[in-house]
Amino acid sequence: MSTGIYRAFAPVRSLFRRRDYRPDLASQWQLMWWKFRRHKLAILGMALLGGLLIMALFAETISPYPPGQRDPAYVAGPPMAPRFIDETGAFHLRPFVYGTTAVRDMNTLRLVHQIDTSKKWKLQFLVEGAPYRLLGLVPTNIRLFGIEHNMIHLFGTDFTGLDLFSRSVHAARASLGVALVGVTVSFVLGSAIGGVAGYFGGGIDNFVMRLIEFIRSIPTLPLWLALAALMPRHWGPLATYLAITVILALLGWTWLARTVRSKLLATRHEDFVLAARLSGCSDARIIRRHLLPSFLSYLIVDASIAFPEILLAETSLSFLGLGLREPVESWGVLLFAAQNIRAIDQAPWLMIPGVFVIVAVLAFNFVGDGLRDAADPYSKS
Amino acid sequence: MISFLSRRLAYMVVTLLLVSVVSFAIIQSAPGDYAEIVAAKRAATGTVITQADIEQVRVELGLDQPWHQQYWRWFSRAVQGDFGYSWAWRRPVGEVIAERMPLTLAIAFSTLFFMYAVSIPIGIYSAVRRYSFGDHLASLIGYLGLAIPNFLLALVLMYLGQQYLDQSVGGLFSPEYFNAPWSWGRVKDLLAHLVIPVLVLGLAGTAYLIRSMRAAMLDELDKMYVLAARASGLSPMQLLIRYPVRMALNPIAATLGWRLTYVISGAPIVGFVLALPDTGPLFLDALLNQDMYLAGALIFLYCLLTIIGTFVSDLLLVLLDPRIRLE
């Protein structure tokens, strides 16, 4: 058991082992890492993904308020930009935001929040706020930043006075979570179905390939929408959440299945497989220990491409009100508020959660490109 | 050639049957059935409805039969253009769709045209002037195009149009032309309103096509025949168009069907955001109201379009690349 775990982490260990640049001695994973490292955009993508992951894990610490806390004095208020230089041109080491006063616009009769330069609210760091559990375990009330006596809204507030920054930070959990579970499910489905097709070949293979072609030739988004619309309305948030991920995964497995199948077909008759068979390995062991590791890198590439697709699909479904729903928060759920032109006209900052989606998808595409180049470390160039 | 065509045609028919089964399954899986809806409608007019009456309606509509008979009933009528009755619109589904389908088709095909018209020249340019400023700019736009969800792009363009161009962007006509008779100004107004849907729907596909065109061109440009042609004194432009571009177009043409699938797939959500009077909002409303005959019919038609698209791209490929026929 312990050696199994030890072995499972071998690729990771080989990354961090300090060794001189000796391509002739390096492991496959080390070669891949060296190649990946040269792809600057991929490294940038990794950094962005790391940032998003930290955001999701430490959402309570990073956000100044719990996502459900309303600010009745600042409803539909625009973003407050932290500043270092005030209206007289003087520099402040501690950033501040200007306070606002609500004024009624005499033309539209709406409350408009005007910047009041006489009020300077200084940003405080590591302040005490609403209590929470760090990583769900450690009870604490330290939050990364905040201001005294008033509330700060970096991204503004929505029509009910909820802080958009806190909500966006918390939404990373559901958005990345759905995509992660969706990719995992399609990974399992894809490798199982593709594995069966590639290993048994013949009629089963033919059937699976036709099925994949069929699924590819139908427009997926309308089908996703239809399946999502058929979900009973009385299901709780968790059941909806799970159902949505399964729906997304159901149509996303085809790329992986195809890769697994073609790689299995290609490597099935290699010499090392014959050698393993002659030394008495079972089929299961051959697949697990010899075949799968030989094309695992390609599967990782496919997964990294499937990830943004599922993320975008979830965002689209939730944006239309057919995916996740309140009280679950994902970026798509937040964008639901920006559905019509009137809302955007009054509060364009409601579109900010979309920026997170774009950043996440870009980061995954960058990493995917880098992985694709690194997947075959023995190729030239 | 004929055997190839007949094989593809047979495959198309099988796919169509499968698609119709999927559409029918979606219609069937909605909670409650049509008989209850009919009963509810009659009850709303003040008539007293008993359980026996509902059973009566069920028998009348054939809902008591096993599902394969019901499927056949639906399918044989669907082929003749009768897709059932939309209770939300209180009209036959076929009529409702027929009003809005032309616009969906117009948008889908102009988007397709836009995608190819823009991406092929840019792809060629990017490959020939590799790592130039223009190449980097194209790949930057490409990355962004793949990352921005198209509904968000639609929202942003709508907002910018409203804010800075002072133009109403949603819908198909500006208010002053809404009920006006056809005139030159109205046509121009219509075209101006079509620009944003086409741009929004086409951006991701264009980005993808630029990348594959560039990659295909780079593969071809390194080959010996290009060198040979250059050595024999062909002008650079002539050479480019006559040999490598023609070769590089094959994989692009082969994916025409997938591109169409992609455009059709994105169309409902863009139509909804931009409030276009096409099938997009119709489809989403049908889903939200569980008006399943309408939704099922639309899914069936969307799939039909993409199946035809795939067939056309297969044909194109055979015409472009004679080697395919040898298979």
Q: What does the H/E/C string look like for chain A?
A: CHHHHHHHCHHHHHHHCCCCCCCCCCCHHHHHHHHHHCCHHHHHHHHHHHHHHHHHHCHHHHCCCCCCCECCCCCCCCCCCCEEECCCCCEEEEEEEEEEEEEECCCCCCEEEEEEEEEEEECEEEEEEEEEEECCCEEEEEEEEECCCCCCCCCCECCCCEEHHHHHHHHHHHHHHHHHHHHHHHHHHHHHHHHHHHHHCHHHHHHHHHHHHHHHHCCHHHHHHHHHHCCCCCCCHHHHHHHHHHHHHHCCCHHHHHHHHHHHHHHCCCHHHHHHHHCCCCHHHHHHHHHHHHHHHHHHHHHHHHHHHHHHHHHHHHHCCCCCCCCCCCHHHHHHHHCCHHHHHHCHHHHHHHHHHHHHHHHHHHHHHHHHHHCCCCCCC
Write down the pLDDT at residue A4. Answer: 60
Q: Does B325 have pLDDT greater than 60?
A: no
With beta carbons under 8 A apart, name residues in chain A contacting B298.
222
Quote the pLDDT of residue B327: 45
| Any B CB within 8 A of A335 CB | yes
Where in chain B are the domains?
Answer: 94-326
A327 touches chain B (CB under 8 A): no
Contact present, A129 and A64 (Cβ < 8 Å): yes
Among 3.40.50.10490, 3.40.50.970, 1.10.3720.10, 3.90.25.10, what is the CATH number of B94-326? 1.10.3720.10
CA A301 to chain CA mean position, Å: 16
Nearest beta carbon to residue A214 from set B15, B147, B148: B15
Q: Which of B147, B169, B272 sits opposite A358 (nearest CB)?
A: B147
Listed in sequence order, the residues at least 6 apart from B267 whose beta carbon sits closer than 8 Å to its beta carbon are: B104, B107, B108, B201, B278, B279, B280
CB contact under 8 A, A345 and B159: yes
CA proximity to B201, closest of B152, B156, B150, B158: B150
Q: What is the mean pLDDT of residues B242-271?
A: 82
Is residue A66 within 8 A of residue A130, CB to CB? The reply is yes
- Residue A276 forms contact with B (CB below 8 Å): no
Give the residue-averaged pLDDT of B9-31.
81
- The bridge status of strand A83-85 relative to strand A91-104 is antiparallel
For A177-189, the pLDDT digits (tens) are 888 888 888 888 8
Q: What is the pLDDT of residue A40?
A: 79
Nearest to B299 by CA among B287, B311, B314: B287
Q: For testing the chain A interface, which of B146, B262, B287, B298 should be mutated: the one with the most A CBs within 10 Å?
A: B287
Give percent of chain B with pLDDT exceeding 70: 86
From chain B, the residues in CB contact with A229 under 8 A are: 287-288, 290, 295
Residues B280, B197: Cα–Cα separation, whole Å = 12
> Does B277 score more than 70 pLDDT?
yes
Q: Taking CA atoms, what residue in A is nearest to B293? A: A226
Q: Does A72 touch chain B (CB under 8 A)?
A: no
How close does chain A come to B86, measured CA to CA in Å? 16
What band does A117 get if pLDDT is binned at 50, 70 and 90? confident
Name the token pair of B139: 């790949």
Confidence check: pLDDT of A76 > 80: no
- Is beta strand A124-134 parallel, antiparallel or unpaired with respect to A111-122? unpaired
User: Looking at the DSSP assignment, which residues form a beta bridge with residue A103?
Assistant: A112
Does pLDDT of B229 surpass 80? yes
pLDDT at B326 over 50: no
CB A67 within 8 A of CB A329: yes
pLDDT attached to residue A380: 52
Task: List all residues 6 or more positions away from A324 whose beta carbon is below 8 Å from its beta carbon.
Answer: A174, A178, A237, A240, A241, A244, A314, A317, A318, A330, A332, A333
Task: Report, in angstroms and rounded to the nearest whole number, the Rg of chain B calculated over CA atoms.
Answer: 25
Nearest to A222 among B147, B148, B299 (CB): B299
State how far residue A34 is from chain B, nearest Cα, in angstroms. 23
Q: Do the Cβ atoms of A221 and B269 come within 8 Å? A: yes
pLDDT (mean) for A214-223: 77
> Nearest C-alpha of chain B: how many angstroms from A338?
8
pLDDT attached to residue A21: 63
Conformational region of residue B19, where left means phi above 0, alpha means psi within -120 to 50, and beta covers everything else: alpha
pLDDT of B166 higher than 70: no
Provide ipTM, 2 decimals.
Answer: 0.77
- Least Cα distance to B117 among B235, B199, B192 occurs for B199
Helix axes B184-221, B244-254, angle to 10 degrees: 110
pLDDT: is B186 or A307 the higher one? Answer: A307
- Residues of chain A with pLDDT > 90, as a percent, come to 1
Pick among B136, B169, B211, B265 to test the A interface (most A CBs inside 10 A)? B265
A3 exposed, middle or buried (CB, 10 Å; 0-12, 13-18, 19+)?
A: exposed
Q: What is the mean pLDDT of chain B?
A: 80
A362 — phi, psi (to 5°)? -60, -50
Q: Is the pLDDT confidence value at B134 over 70?
A: yes
pLDDT tens column, A32-54: 777 777 777 888 888 999 999 98
Q: In whole angstroms, what separates CA B278 from the centre of its chain? A: 12
Q: Under a CB-based contact definition with an 8 Å cutoff, are residues A296 and A302 in contact?
A: no
What is the per-residue pLDDT for A377? 62
In angstroms, the CA A12 to CA A137 distance is: 27
Query: In the predicted model, what is the mean pLDDT of chain A?
Result: 79
Among B124, B147, B144, which Cα is nearest to B134's? B124
> Mean pLDDT, to the nearest integer, of B1-6?
77
| Cβ neighbours of B252 (radius 10 Å) | 20
Q: Which amino acid is located at B314 in the chain?
A: D
Give the whole-angstrom CA distance, residue A137 versus residue B112. Answer: 53
- Alpha carbons A198 and A261: distance in angstroms, whole number: 4
Tens digits of per-residue pLDDT, A313-372? 888 888 888 778 777 888 888 888 888 777 777 788 888 888 899 999 888 888 887 887
CA distance A300 to A377: 14
- Interface with chain B: mutation pick from A215, A218, A351, highest number of B CBs within 10 Å: A218
* CB < 8 Å to A336, chain B: none
Query: Does the pLDDT of residue A2 top 60, yes or no?
Result: no
Residue A1: per-residue pLDDT:
44
Inform me whether the C-beta atom of residue A355 falls under 8 Å from chain B C-beta atoms: no
Among A217, A321, A357, select the one facing B149 at the smallest CB separation: A357
Query: Which carries the bigger pLDDT value, residue B212 or residue A103?
Result: B212
- Rg, C-alpha atoms of chain A: 26
Q: How confident is the model at residue B154 (pLDDT cuts 50, 70, 90)?
A: confident
Contact A365 B149 (CB under 8 A): no
Q: How far is A367 from chain B (nearest CA, A)?
A: 12
Q: Which of residues 231-270 of A touch B (CB under 8 A)?
A: 232
Q: Residue A222 burial by CB count (10 A; 0-12/13-18/19+): exposed, middle or buried?
A: buried
Q: Which of B149, B299, B306 sits opposite A226 (nearest CB)?
A: B299
Of A20, A342, A52, nearest to A171 by C-alpha is: A52
pLDDT in tens, A343-357: 777 788 888 888 899
- Chain A residues with CB under 8 Å of B290 CB are 229-230
pLDDT at B286: 83
CA distance B30 to chain A (A): 6
> pLDDT above 90 covers what percent of chain B?
2
Q: Mind listing the pLDDT tens digit for each residue in B99-122?
A: 888 888 888 888 989 999 999 999
Contact A140, A132 (CB under 8 A): yes
Q: Is residue A89 within 8 Å of A163, Cβ to Cβ?
A: no
Confidence of residue B9 (pLDDT cuts 50, 70, 90): confident
Query: CB contact, 8 Å: A51 with chain B?
Result: no
Say how many CB pairs under 8 Å bridge A and B.
Answer: 111
- Residue B166 parent element (H or E): none
For position A9, what pLDDT does the model report? 64
Any B CB within 8 A of A142 CB: no
Contact of B204 with B111, CB cutoff 8 Å = no
Chain A residues whose CB is inside 8 A of the B158 CB are 341, 344
Least-confidence region, from A218-222, B137-141, B268-272, B281-285: A218-222
Cβ atoms of A314 and A308 within 8 Å: the answer is: no
Percentage of chain A beyond pLDDT 70 is 91
User: Mean pLDDT throughout A255-282?
Assistant: 83
**pLDDT at site B324:** 59
CA distance A362 to A60: 25
Give the span between the Cα atoms of A255 and A308, in whole angstroms. Answer: 14
pLDDT above 70 for A381: no
Closest residue, chain A, to B271 (C-alpha): A320
Indicate yes or no: CB of A354 within 8 angstroms of CB of B152. yes
Q: Phi and psi (nearest 5°) for A125?
A: -110, 150
Locate B206 and state its tokens. Answer: 């264009």
Instruction: Give residue B309's pLDDT band: very low, low, confident or very high (50, 70, 90).
Output: confident
Confidence of residue A6 (pLDDT cuts 50, 70, 90): low
Q: How far apart are CA B225 and CA A47, in angstroms?
A: 43
Per-residue pLDDT, averaged over A219-234, amounts to 77
Q: Do B155 and A365 make contact, defined as CB atoms within 8 angstroms? A: no
8 Å CB contact of A223 and B299? yes
